[in-house]
Amino acid sequence: MVDTQGAVGFVFPGQGSQYVGMGQEWAESFPTARQAYEEADSTLGLALSELCWQGPEEELQLTANTQPAILATSVAIQRVVAEHGLEPVVVAGHSLGEYSALVAAGCLSFADALRLVRRRGELMQEAVPVGVGAMAAIMGLEAEVVAAIAAEAREDQVCDVANYNAPIQTVVAGHREAVERAVEMAEARDAMRAVMLPVSAPFHSALMRPAREGLAPELEAVSFAAPQPPVVTNIDAKPVTNGEVARQALVRQIDGPVRWVESIRWMVDEGGVETFLEVGPRAVLSGLIRRITPGVAAKSFSEPKGLQKFLDGSGAGK
């Protein structure tokens, strides 16, 4: 194990971190990364690597393609990182990223995870007709205030807190009209910013119940081993070391909130993490982590040079 700056925790990003060209530099630089993409292509029976590296962007943005593409890229990078001797004491992933975390922890096979997230993406898209649901990010208000706004905006529709991303950055999801009402209410209460998000479905809300019911039997059909190291789950913000508990957490995660603030705080306060390494296509979580735990270093491994800087000791800071 490489001697880094104290105990290391890995975090894996979810949907929204994708872009055309992601992972290509890793695959060109490291055979291990290329092999991961080849395994993904073979498992799914489609040219996922080509989609990641060349697009077209419209195809990559389809949820059923986006989810396995991000997973494949994250796992490809994680395997290279592991080859260089970096081992985490605990891992976590944001939404979709929890599957990458479980693969990294040896709980779920890469092939099973690929098939599951592709189906997850299909079920999430099918759960709500395009245009019916929406999500919005609200910044500058405490999470408790946003939760109260969501409840008030609900009326006879769905409007739930979907993501507790940072102390004053919370995402709501549900019926478009209800989410739009929440945005108006947040603005009236002097939110720093309240914006509708460019997403295709209201993830992590009660409207995802059909997706949860559809994915549950698929998850039951797959083998889950005891994760090592522990995985901090989105739904409970606590570590799991039991495969069955990890499986049920993925089921509950689909229509439940991502408790990212609590997850990161547990990793630092209880897990002893001193340095976070974000392993995925693009730096998304590192900025959130710096807001949640300002004194803790967070570094992204979205490009090979980030790994080299870290190993050289020049990129270990914030």
Q: Where in the sequence numbering do the catalytic residues fall? A: 95, 204
DSSP calls for 228-293: SS-EE-TTTSSEE--HHHHHHHHHHHTTS-B-HHHHHHHHHHTT---EEEE-SSS--HHHHHHHHS
Asked whether 126 and 215 are in contact (CB, 8 A), the reply is no
Place of tokens 């929890």: 98
Amino acid at 290: R
State the residue for tokens 């004053």. 168
**Integer Cα distance of 148 and 142 in angstroms:** 10
If you write DSSP's letter for every residue of 17-82 in order, what string do you get? ---TTTTHHHHHH-HHHHHHHHHHHHHHTS-HHHHHHH--HHHHTSHHHHHHHHHHHHHHHHHHHH
CB neighbourhood size of 231 (10 A): 26
Exposure on the CB side of residue 140, measured as CA atoms within 13 A? 11
Measured CA to CA, the distance from residue 308 to residue 289 in angstroms comes to 22
- The three-class DSSP label of residue 87 is coil
**Nearest-angstrom CA–CA distance, 198 and 217:** 30
Q: Report which DSSP code applies to 107.
A: S
